[in-house]
Amino acid sequence: MPEDRDLASIAEARDLARRAATAQAWLERLSQKMIDGIVAAMAAAAAENSRNLARMAWEETGFGNPNDKHIKNAIAFRDVYDHIKDMRTVGVLSRDEERKVIEIAAPMGVVAAIIPSTNPTSTAIYKLLICIKARNAVVVSPHPAAQGCIAETVRVMSEAGRAAGLPDDAILCMENVTLDGTRELMQFESVAVVIATGGMALVKAAYSSGKPAFGVGPGNVPAYVHASAGIAKAARDILAGKCFDNGTICASEQAVVVDHEAATPLRDEMGRNGAYFLSEGEAKAVAGVLVGADLHVNPKLVGKPAEEIAGAAGVEVPPGTRCLIAKLEVVGPSEPLSIEKLSPVLAWYEVSDWQEGCERCKEILRFGGMGHTLAIHCNDEEIITAFGLEKPASRICVNAPASHGAVGYSTSLPPSFTLGCGAGGNNITSDNITPLHLIDIKRIAYETREVIPTWVEAADTAGGENMESLPPPSSSDRAVLEKLVDEFLTQRNVCNIQPQPTTDEPIAAEQPPAPEADKEEKDTTATAPPAPAAPLPPPPKPVDFVSEWEVRQALRNGESILIHDKTIITPLARELGERESVFVRS
């Protein structure tokens, strides 16, 4: 019965989480050298078994193709491993002698790793490597549609790890998988953090688990082509990204947005590279079989070749067709093919210029791809920068396939199969997730500024015993004090104050007033009144925003920066300004 299966799955989740917690106590005692040796052995085992795992994933899910799945595995066991192999994740990470701060790595604890069916073996390889590199035990919850290939990946890598010194039960995998069991795993007390890759319902469950979570859902990735682009390369890149493993990577292109000026040559180039442009009627037929009334992709056509999708829609296409393209006018629920399609099917939009293209790309991202990825094909740096400033996307791949660029295969982004979408995508980070996201950093901070308690200051002011222990002011201190007093008096027009006599001689008696005649005579010979004092300069105004550049300018000029309670200060500016005592609060 389904109810019995759910109960068994929940019980298994609890048992695996407890066993992983026991292993965690041993795992976190390992040295950096031991961890690095274990991770190297796991990566080598994944490489040795990659082609077999790729074929298993294709046969079990029916998504994509074995060759591209092997390439995705290689991104994990080769590129991810190369990126993390020398990364320090144990003990002291850094010492800042100037700030007197020492940073120390601490593992987070047991990780619940949720693996999708679209990229099953590659995501499993990647997550196992980054979890163990950070000294975190891991319990894998595989997608039921890819349970066999994921379980085999876990077996291969855990056996290699244990042979190199990994504690037993540091890597475990659920066998009786249900949604209730996966929820229990994410919420269970022994689990410290969740990494969830999959549909939006799963990602929301991860963020509702009450645990720190890295969740990545769908992407609706636009690829903008400007008139300045290399059209032939742009066509090849867009199709390479879209057709890679039949479009099952969440960062793959979903729509082409092209300037009118470049539309015809781009269309011709894409046709020469295997794209088929659907008529209006053919596009409706494809939408009818590919996208349901609830705007979800038909799971039977996810990751299928373009010719198979066309055949299901009754559309005849030339042999060798790699991608279906539908020209659209709107983005939204009224146009089913404007969603993420998880297959080699593209939407096509033509725009008058880059400003209109910018707005169209925003529409696409807001319709299911907020914070994820965008590709731009352009050779105008100002427009590239404008897109970077304007778009709600965490990764903007320039003159590269979006799917390959976003995961760090054709760019220098950190190689990763968990791509954060930031707050716009309801994610905790916009980063490509690495082992550094799975460690806590402890900081040892030495005193750099002595705190004088208020009662000590009060005693000093009152002339208490503490005053005697203070050193006498130096000549330089006295000069600074005198200058400050002079400036204070000048600002208040208190000038030409004569000092009182300090000798013991008697002060002369006050003289009686002079007669009126003498006074008049004296007035006629009186000197002219002094000229009025020059007006004081207006007081400085507090600033509303401070960057690191303004702080460094103030330090160079020996100046202070006047701020108020609502002044916005960038993190680097605050750190430098407070350390150098640059800020003065109004």
Mean pLDDT calculated for residue range 561-578: 84
Confidence of residue 204 (pLDDT cuts 50, 70, 90): confident
Given this chain, do its domains 2-217+437-443 and 221-406 carry the same CATH topology? no
Per-residue model confidence (pLDDT) at position 494: 43
pLDDT exceeds cutoff 60 at 80: yes
For residue 517, the model assigns a pLDDT of: 44
Higher pLDDT, 438 or 489: 438
* Token couple for 473: 């002011």
Q: pLDDT-based confidence at 470, cuts 50/70/90? A: very low
Find the helix or strand (DSSP H, E) in which 546 lies: strand 543-546
585: confidence class by pLDDT, cuts 50, 70, 90: confident
Distance CA 436, CA 105 (A): 9
pLDDT above 70 (res 479): no
- Better-predicted residue by pLDDT, 464 or 446: 446
Pick one of 3.30.70.980, 3.40.50.11540, 3.40.309.10, 3.40.50.300 as the CATH number of 221-406.
Answer: 3.40.309.10
Judged by average pLDDT, the poorest of 74-88, 193-207, 289-303, 433-447 is 193-207
More confident residue, 71 or 504: 71
pLDDT (mean) for 438-467: 77
Q: Average pLDDT over the chain, rounded to whole? A: 88
pLDDT tens track for 223-267: 999 999 999 999 999 999 999 999 999 999 999 999 999 999 999
Residue 155 has pLDDT above 90, yes or no: yes
138-147, 313-322, 436-445, 562-571: segment of lowest average pLDDT:
562-571
47-61, 81-95, 505-519 — which is least confidently predicted? 505-519
50 within 8 A of 168, measured Cβ to Cβ: no
pLDDT of residue 501: 45
Identify the CATH number of the domain defined by range 2-217+437-443.
3.40.605.10
Q: What is the mean pLDDT of residues 545-567?
A: 85
Reduced DSSP (H G I as helix, E B as strand, rest coil) percent helix, strand, coil of the chain, to 5: 45, 20, 35
| CA separation for the pair 299, 342 (Å, rounded) | 9
In percent, the amount of the chain with pLDDT more than 70 equals 85
The pLDDT assigned to 486 comes to 62
What pLDDT, on a 0 to 100 scale, did the predictor assign at position 445? 96
Confidence of residue 521 (pLDDT cuts 50, 70, 90): very low
What is the pLDDT at residue 50? 98
What does the pLDDT read at residue 309?
98
pLDDT of residue 216: 81
pLDDT of residue 452: 84
Residue 569: burial class (beta carbons within 10 Å; 0-12, 13-18, 19+)? buried
Q: Which residues on neighbouring strands pair with residue 439, listed in sequence order?
A: 107
Distances (CA, A) of 27 to 24, 56, 81, 138, 340: 5, 31, 19, 11, 40
- Averaged pLDDT for residues 370-396: 94
- Rg over alpha carbons for the chain, rounded to the nearest Å, is 35
Strands 110-115 and 323-327: unpaired
Per-residue b or e along 66-87, where b marks 16 or more CB atoms closer than 10 Å to that residue's CB? bebbbbbbbbbbebbbebbeeb
Give me the pLDDT at residue 43, please: 98
> Which pLDDT belongs to residue 55?
98
pTM for the predicted model, two decimal places: 0.77
Mean pLDDT of all residues in 464-477 = 50
**Which of the two residues, 2 and 556, has the higher pLDDT score?**
556
Residue 473 has pLDDT above 70, yes or no: no
Residue 457 reports pLDDT greater than 80: no
Say yes or no to pLDDT of 484 above 80: no
Handedness of CA 494, 496, 502, 507 (dihedral sign): negative
353 pLDDT higher than 70:
yes
Angle at 407 between CA 272 and CA 31, to 5 degrees: 155
| Tens digit of each residue's pLDDT (9 = 90 or more) over 95-112 | 999 999 999 999 999 999
Residues with Cβ < 8 Å from 214, sequence gap 6 or more?
A: 193, 194, 195, 196, 418, 420, 427, 428, 429, 433, 437
Strand-pairing partners, residue 141, are: 114
**How much is the pLDDT for 565?**
83
Q: Annotated catalytic sites, by residue?
A: 250
Domain ranges, ordered by start, for the chain: 2-217+437-443, 221-406, 543-585
Q: Beta strands 138-142 and 171-173: pairing type? A: parallel
Instruction: Give the DSSP letter of residue 535.
Output: P
Distance CA 198, CA 219 (A): 11
DSSP letters spanning 48-91:
HTHHHHHHHHHHHH--S-HHHHHHHHHIIIIIIHHHHTT---SE
